[in-house]
């Protein structure tokens, strides 16, 4: 299991089960732990999910990735009791939703 810190100072965990999910469903995420850590601690934008108030989407644009220029999106379930990564993927666009934080 990996533990990361986020912009708000919370500890965000990436369980072994979720890491296996990334390896099987998002193979481009192989060897991207540093990008995950950087996105959580220094995101460009954090958006609340439109379908679940406990889910946040942390975005950071990377000029170079295994799949060209993309945003890294980290989907985090954040509750008072626990905060953990649901999934991580590269994307061309940022989803709509309430902006919780944005880089100026």
CA separation for the pair 90, 1 (Å, rounded):
21
Per-residue pLDDT tens digits for 39-77: 999 999 999 999 999 999 999 999 999 889 999 999 999
* Residue entry with tokens 């649901």: 86
- pLDDT of 36 over the 90 cut: yes
* Residue 30: predicted pLDDT: 87
Domain borders along the chain are: 2-102
- pLDDT of 104 over the 90 cut: no
CA separation for the pair 49, 29 (Å, rounded):
22
* Residue 19: predicted pLDDT: 92
Give the list of residues 6+ apart from residue 70 with CB closer than 8 angstroms, or none: 61, 62, 90, 91, 92
Average pLDDT over residues 72-88: 96
pTM: 0.95
Q: Which residues pair with 80 in a beta bridge?
A: none
CB-CB neighbours of 68 under 10 Å: 10
Percent of the chain with pLDDT over 90: 88
Are 92 and 21 contacting, i.e. CB atoms less than 8 angstroms apart? no
Task: Kindly state the helix (H) or strand (E) to which residue 12 belongs, with its residue range.
Answer: strand 11-14
């Amino acid at each position: 299991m990996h533990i990361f810190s986020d912009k708000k100072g919370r500890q965000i965990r990436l369980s072994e089960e979720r890491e296996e999910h990334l390896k099987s469903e998002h193979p481009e995420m192989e060897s991207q732990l540093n990008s995950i850590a950087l996105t959580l601690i220094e995101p460009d934008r954090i958006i609340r999910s439109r379908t679940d108030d406990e889910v946040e989407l942390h975005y950071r644009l990377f000029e170079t990735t295994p799949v060209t220029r993309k945003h890294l999106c980290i989907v985090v379930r954040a509750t008072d009791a626990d905060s953990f990564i649901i999934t991580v993927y590269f994307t061309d666009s940022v989803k709509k939703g309430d902006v919780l934080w944005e880089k100026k």
